[in-house]
Structure 1
Amino acid sequence: MGKRRRKAAISFEAKLIHPSLLNDEEEFPPLQRDNAARQTVQTAMGDQQQVMPEVDPQEEEVEEEEEEEDPARPWQRGKSNVKSRISFLRRSGHLSDLTIAFPGDTRTIKVHRLVLAMSSPVLEAMLNDPLENPNILALPGVPPQAFEWLMDHIYHDEPQLPEVSVAVQVYQLASKYQMDTLSRMCSRFLLEKVNIENFPFVYNTAVFLEDTELLNKCSLVLAPSADQIMSSQDIGVMNGTALTSLLQHPSLSISTETLVYRALITWGRAQLVDPTPESLRQVVGEFLPLVRFKTMTTDEFVEHVIPSMILSNDECITLLKTIKGVAETLPDIASCDISVRRPSREKAAELLNNQGNVTSTFASEAKVSILRNFKTSKPVYISKLLSNTFSSLLPGSVEVKDAEDKTVGTGSWHGMSCYFSQPVRLEPDKTYSLDVSVMELRWVNGYGAFNVQLEESCFTGEALHGRILLHFLEDSPPEDSAPLEDTPTGDD
């Protein structure tokens, strides 16, 4: 209604302007002519002259939506800007002059050559080349769901990336099609989202695209959580290059080498439709020299390696003799001669160990600061915290906050331990607290001061009475993967 009133007023005003005000330039110079015209209009309208009400933008949007539903009305008249028109073309497929097809999949997408060409130089070049079918562009190997989101981003300027498993595919497509702004958006998104659960997806993409910043963040996630990551069934999504990089990674610190071997078997099965011991051997054979069989105990080897039937009987016997130290020759397929466990980047510091007479407090629900006024002399990433005087029956949430009460990291509390899916960075000489919110808990309502001097850093602050053990990573790139010292195996 607002639009109609405004148009009517403008039309009425135009009719009241005398022709002499428009044509007689000598009688009315420009400025005087404008003033005279304005005065004539105001006089003629008299009491009817009113300030027209502003049109509510939401009202306009509603009108547009209503007009879109009217098939008799030209669709262009219901769109107030270019963005809404382009979005309509995406939703409706109207004026589409190209169909995107995915070989091996029945899904298709109707698009517009102009929109694709102005969004990506690679897509423009593909469209300039002659197509087998001039109306169809086949994209083999491209995941339809990720490409569908890519089209939404191009047409609608969609800012919300999908779940991580699809976002990594979008990142690869953005890189492939040289869509630099979207590539940076995907990288920032994955930097925030990478954790233990989605690590295989993110790491595979980081290696493939050589995203150094994302690789460094993956290294921080891997260091304290290698056991969980190597036990993931999603390890099979990685390609061979990423798997090789992971097995050689200096942050791959695991409790037992059998986890590496079992991860290889999981990865191999994911590559095969109907895996057999023979086909598995062919698929994982090139990676077996990266497994440190000599660090396994004989019990571990017998329990995990022999039943898989990947190695022959002779190869198994030779490796068992090598583990026991009665032979030196290794089979070609398992030629790794390293006999020390993989080194760990994660360090631990006992902040407090006050086991005196203390009184426990019980509550059905509470928020407690386990650490307060915490400071570090050098940048560190905290990955885990254990307390023997703070326990809960149910899982809880953890927040690491700075002096301004801003949350810099979150984690989860289980039993007597705090875990961070993404290690939290703490800056030197800033003050932090670690707050736990849980239900059905017991804790010691008292604090003790600590001042822990380490080789290269110092921690100060206050902690709940009892034993507080902090696990952390130093803010430095991983060293070469060669171990510095021997860690004896169970058979030594």
Structure 2
Amino acid sequence: MGQFLCHSLKVIARGDHLPIVSTPCVPQSSSRRTNMVETGTLRFKKWQSMLKNGEERMRYLYTSSKLSDLDIFFPGDEEPLKVHSLILSTNSPVFFTMLNGPMAPDKLTLPEDPRHSFQKLLDHMYLDRMDLKSVEEALEVYKLAHKYEIESTKKECVKYIASNVKAETMPAVLETSVLYEVTALKKKCKEILDRDPDAIMLPETVSRLSKATMKALLTDETLAFSSEAVPFRGLIAWQDGRAEEDGHKNQTSHPTPSNNTGTHGNTDRQHLESAAVSVKHPIPTIRIHIIHRITSFPTRQKAISLSRIYTLSDLDMT
């Protein structure tokens, strides 16, 4: 027989009989069906048979929230993400532990996770693809993938970041590569650093670096700074950022013997000593001399003066 007939009942509120009307079930065009799957608007009782493969069925479950059994909430958002605990559990050992067992929840709040980044994580779980728009976005998704131990998503993020990192985004990428020990990203950052190592020591850049990243930079003997003074001036700028951070913490916490203004000089000195002893340079005599003079003074002001005075040309090598 030609067209397959789908029988539907039209119930008429008034009348003695309920006529049966046969209407042809017109096959949906491929593009229209794809659009309905993407938007979750496919409305058929036997929707499973209308979808041509497992990929379309998975996409439809994701976009329509059909059969979802878990609501995920984020701070400031009233509308949860409706997901399937089975999908999360099969992608993440962390979610497997959280969502399985006699006390398995049907609601979950993730106060530390950005909703937009988590949505990208779900894209990869359900659809095996992500539409990343920027290096910054990819870094956020990478952090979530690391948190939930989703290796395939981590690899996808690293691939995108390595292909798109530029000088302006390199510091943030370097931070992530050091924190999470991502060799591929360290290598890309090193390529950018080698072209202009002085740039990373500019105050507006270096002040945002973590202690671990600063140490990694200062212990890298292959970085060819234009002057011996560059890393030490960067060190002072970095210390400025730490001191400002400490000051903010002191203002927001209750005064105690460990955080009052009387110990601020000691905090400055601790930061300087901790970072300065890590500095590696081709001429050990200069390095040791500057480190000794900087860490011999408890105040940042004297350290700044020394870092400005003791440049390569000023130091007495005898």
Q: Where on the TM-score scale, by shorter chain, does this alignment land: which range?
A: 0.5 to 0.7
1:174-199 CA distances to partner (integer Å, 9 max, x unpaired)?
A: 23333222222222222222232111
The alignment covers a number of residue pairs equal to: 266
CA RMSD of aligned residues (A): 4.3
- CA distance in structure 2 between the aligned counterparts of 1:189 and 1:281, rounded to whole angstroms: 44
Residue aligning to 1:489: 314
Counterparts in 2 of 1:311 and 1:59: CA distance versus 1, 3 Å: farther
1:26-66 CA distances to partner (integer Å, 9 max, x unpaired)?
A: xxxxxxxxxxxxxxxxxxxxxxxxxxxxx9xx932224546
> How far 1:151 sits from its partner (Å)?
0.8
- CA distance in structure 2 between the aligned counterparts of 1:63 and 1:119, rounded to whole angstroms: 28
Residue 8, structure 1, aligned to residue 7, structure 2: no
1:70-99 CA distances to partner (integer Å, 9 max, x unpaired)?
A: 786448265333322322332333332112
Name the structure where strand makes up a greater proportion of residues. 1
- CA distance in structure 2 between the aligned counterparts of 1:101 and 1:142, rounded to whole angstroms: 10
Residue aligning to 2:144: 173
> How far 1:217 sits from its partner (Å)?
2.4
- CA distance in structure 1 between the aligned counterparts of 2:221 and 2:102, rounded to whole angstroms: 48
Corresponding residue SS for 1:8: coil
Gaps of 5+ in 2: 6-26, 252-259, 280-286
> How far 1:112 sits from its partner (Å)?
0.9
Residue 249, structure 1, aligned to residue 220, structure 2: yes
> How far 1:488 sits from its partner (Å)?
2.8
User: Does the 8 Å CA contact 1:235/1:267 hold for their aligned counterparts?
Assistant: no
Residue 222, structure 1, aligned to residue 206, structure 2: no
TM-score (norm 1): 0.44
Residue aligning to 1:265: 240
Residue range with higher mean Cα deviation, 181-190 or 315-324:
315-324
Residue 196, structure 1, aligned to residue 159, structure 2: no
1:449-481 CA distances to partner (integer Å, 9 max, x unpaired)?
A: xxxxxxxxxxxxxxxxxxxxxxxxxxxxxxxxx
**Equivalent runs, 1:22-421 vs 2, <5 Å:** 59-63=29-33, 65=35, 73-74=44-45, 76=47, 78-102=50-74, 104-106=75-77, 108-128=80-100, 134-231=105-202, 233=204, 235=206, 238-252=209-223, 253=225, 255=227, 256=230, 257-266=232-241, 269=244, 286-289=270-273, 290-291=275-276, 312=299, 316=301
User: Does the 8 Å CA contact 1:100/1:137 hold for their aligned counterparts?
Assistant: yes
User: Does the 8 Å CA contact 1:196/1:229 hold for their aligned counterparts?
Assistant: no
1:269-298 CA distances to partner (integer Å, 9 max, x unpaired)?
A: 4687588895986876543122479659xx
Corresponding residue SS for 1:134: coil
Counterparts in 2 of 1:181 and 1:258: CA distance versus 1, 3 Å: same
User: Does the 8 Å CA contact 2:72/2:109 hold for their aligned counterparts?
Assistant: yes
Higher radius of gyration, 1 or 2:
1
Counterparts in 2 of 1:273 and 1:138: CA distance versus 1, 3 Å: farther
Corresponding residue SS for 2:72: strand
User: Does the 8 Å CA contact 2:70/2:107 hold for their aligned counterparts?
Assistant: yes
Gaps of 5+ in 1: 1-6, 12-54, 302-309, 325-338, 342-486
Counterparts in 2 of 1:124 and 1:180: CA distance versus 1, 3 Å: same
- CA distance in structure 2 between the aligned counterparts of 1:65 and 1:273, rounded to whole angstroms: 51
> How far 1:113 sits from its partner (Å)?
0.3
Counterparts in 2 of 1:215 and 1:265: CA distance versus 1, 3 Å: same
- CA distance in structure 2 between the aligned counterparts of 1:185 and 1:168, rounded to whole angstroms: 11
Corresponding residue SS for 2:2: helix
User: Does the 8 Å CA contact 2:203/2:234 hold for their aligned counterparts?
Assistant: no
Corresponding residue SS for 1:158: coil
- CA distance in structure 1 between the aligned counterparts of 2:42 and 2:163, rounded to whole angstroms: 45
- The code of the aligned residue for 1:80 comes to K
Counterparts in 2 of 1:127 and 1:320: CA distance versus 1, 3 Å: same
> How far 1:164 sits from its partner (Å)?
1.0
